[in-house]
Structure 1
């Protein structure tokens, strides 16, 4: 028998306020992590070796790929927990949390082992050669084994957000970022470890993130049920029903980025360094929008669990308005500060040109990526996760590759960045249309969250 509980906090109140609060707090934690990567990039640039900066750029594409698995599993577990809370079922929420953490961690171990075994060919595939290739492999060989810790941290943070615990979910990554920021200068400069020091600092940060995600769940949200083998096997279905499409959705981005990295490599290390700077700058500048997809998910999930489709629709529209406001504000700041930003990295020549291009018109086009983020949250939480998979893969394949090849051939390295942005306009419009259709006809839920023995049943039926 499920435990009675107060209904989720997002089922009442102003949805725009909920979205704003959750997005801003989530973005603080997210930007804390990205800011440390940004600072690490500055430290590496201060060493004055272009191959080190290029190595971080190449590594970033693979680390983005590995992080996508954690994001996807976090989306799955968070959606299940939020929906259970919206239905006033704390037993379902606790069991989804427990089994989601175990499944995600196990998946992370296997995934990290596979990536680690194939690091050299993966880096070669990105276009890295010579010393830059060797530095990239060395850097990744230290960080990749800590992938399971990152999975725990991401899934734990998603569970906290599903409970509406914005502050504690924010602090998960803030503490990790502080640990990284403190260790970076010590290891890179004081201990003279260069790229190795940056990698060790990142691993230590992931340890902190995992601990800070688990502790508040244990202390403030009922903790975890003891997992059982039969329960885990049965709960694979609902977790992977959302998790696999969500992972595929997230993986599309780094695969598209990997192609862009390889396309940029033909224009030299200065072009790759410029792309690496813009790659680090993007999540810092638009961290609020990167956080929006995970932040709006619990709002949508709880209201869907409570059968309040009017509030689901309102939350979606509020998310689009929020996206537009953020884009206008951030793009204006980037344009005004484009000179100091380039100077911060001692960027000259082609590298500086790419930074200026990003801080100009390209940042405005990021609005359409924001539309995709919000639309993906709708599809993932309303039982249509494969729709978001289609949008993301389309955006990062046919919406990226032809434009990058075409515009790169005509305009060189700047054309590669422009080509990457153009496809977002087309697929942003498609994502908007698809999300509205999903709101009209969401995935059908099973009759109950549990069977007679209390095991979590499939929460989403993907059949139309």
Structure 2
């Protein structure tokens, strides 16, 4: 999963790097779409968490027939929900991007890019739901391989569709979205063929299963989606703060956001691969194994993210040079890297605790922790830093918010999730 996440996030960073070669204005337009793209991703991840949790717990209880019905239901409903959301985001784009601070010229660039980007987001969500089902059944190899494959396809198509080849003129900014859509389509074809060969789906008794599972599914998916929707809302508020620092700062922040997700690849892989394992332990009532898994995961996150953050902070000028050709954007990006990247060790701990909370029957506390991370620690520190010190202050404030959130999550984990007196709760 780490290899797959690296490739998947790598092609998002490649998208931004290629778009940066088009100029500051297209890169800024691309950055303004991040909050709404994160909104779609937040809902799909929330649904994916519920898929993995319910199916893995059911498998832990050795109820194969119910796991088949659950898998079918969540695939059908999940893709329908994301389709409706994409349609809604297309129709409200003008007031939303205007509120985010995009001027008329930037909104024109966004409009040509937004339709294929929404299509790509829907295809990516459908692919992600398939990944969640495979992970719930203990298969992380196929999702990892498909992430690598789709990333390679996107890497090949990006320059062709953005810049063109020979006499054929490229599509510019929309070309990046079309490249992603085609890559995800190839992944869906392969995953669909593999899924047909399994016995993980069932088409009988779906109505009764929907009535039976709607409440427990909503009990997990609801708080999980709210937790996942908080980052897009925070991203919108962050963009409004960054936009006040100028177009160059917005472009640099967009590249830093891509680099953030790439640098968190191990954490993201663990938040996807660990919950199904924890869910099976939950279903079997094996809390000693849960505690052993979580302690190991925390050590890995702390050591890996600390080392990576220090290395990237020390090499910040060269990393910025590789990602942007604009000297002003490079300077701002270098500043952001120096302060933000080392703080992701504590951010990773917070992400892992939230993910574990959803898998272990504490979705409400996981949601509250996610909200505290963003709206109690991160955003207030970021805003205060921007007011006091411009871009440098903003970077320092964001880093401080990540550190405080990580410490709070660690305390929650010790007092609640890993409490030795805690007993398993039966899954209804």
Question: Please, what TM-score do these two structures have when normalized by structure 2?
Answer: 0.92
1:78 matched to which residue of 2? 52
Shift of 1:405: 2.0
The 5 A counterparts of 1:174-193 are 174-190=148-164, 191-193=169-171
Shift of 1:347: 5.0
Gaps of 5+ in 2: none
Shift of 1:312: 0.3
Name the CA distance, whole Å, in 2 between partners of 1:149 and 1:40: 17
Q: Does 1:222 align with 2:222?
A: no
Per-residue CA distance 1:405-449 (angstroms, 9 max, x = gap): 211011102222322232222222222232331343467224xxx
The 5 A counterparts of 1:64-463 are 64-190=38-164, 191-219=169-197, 221-226=198-203, 228-347=206-325, 350-436=328-414, 437-440=416-419, 441=422, 444-446=425-427, 458=428
Cα contact 2:230–2:374 (8 A) shared by 1: yes
RMSD: 2.0
Q: Does 1:63 align with 2:34?
A: no
Shift of 1:130: 2.1
Cα contact 2:100–2:236 (8 A) shared by 1: yes
Cα contact 1:157–1:169 (8 A) shared by 2: yes
Name the CA distance, whole Å, in 2 between partners of 1:215 and 1:73: 22
Shift of 1:350: 4.6
Distance 1:66 1:382, change over 3 A: same
Which of the numbers 31, 35, 58 marks the counterpart of 2:10? 35
Shift of 1:54: 0.5
Name the CA distance, whole Å, in 2 between partners of 1:161 and 1:179: 23
Give the number of aligned pairs.
420
1:52 matched to which residue of 2? 26
Distance 1:310 1:233, change over 3 A: same
Shift of 1:175: 2.2
Shift of 1:336: 4.1
Distance 1:414 1:361, change over 3 A: closer
Shift of 1:348: 5.0
Greater Cα offset, 229-238 or 54-63? 229-238
Greater Cα offset, 57-66 or 396-405? 396-405
Where 2:367 maps in the other structure, the secondary structure is helix
Shift of 1:135: 1.2
Name the CA distance, whole Å, in 2 between partners of 1:146 and 1:199: 6
1:461 matched to which residue of 2? none
Name the CA distance, whole Å, in 1 between partners of 2:368 and 2:231: 12
Name the CA distance, whole Å, in 2 between partners of 1:381 and 1:218: 27
Question: Please, what TM-score do these two structures have when normalized by structure 1?
Answer: 0.85
Name the CA distance, whole Å, in 2 between partners of 1:189 and 1:347: 16
Name the CA distance, whole Å, in 2 between partners of 1:299 and 1:80: 12
Cα contact 1:31–1:283 (8 A) shared by 2: no
Cα contact 2:306–2:344 (8 A) shared by 1: no
Per-residue CA distance 1:90-129 (angstroms, 9 max, x = gap): 2232222111111211211222222121112221222111
Where 1:193 maps in the other structure, the secondary structure is coil
Cα contact 1:376–1:388 (8 A) shared by 2: yes
Cα contact 2:314–2:338 (8 A) shared by 1: no
Per-residue CA distance 1:238-262 (angstroms, 9 max, x = gap): 2221111111111111211221111
Cα contact 2:35–2:232 (8 A) shared by 1: yes
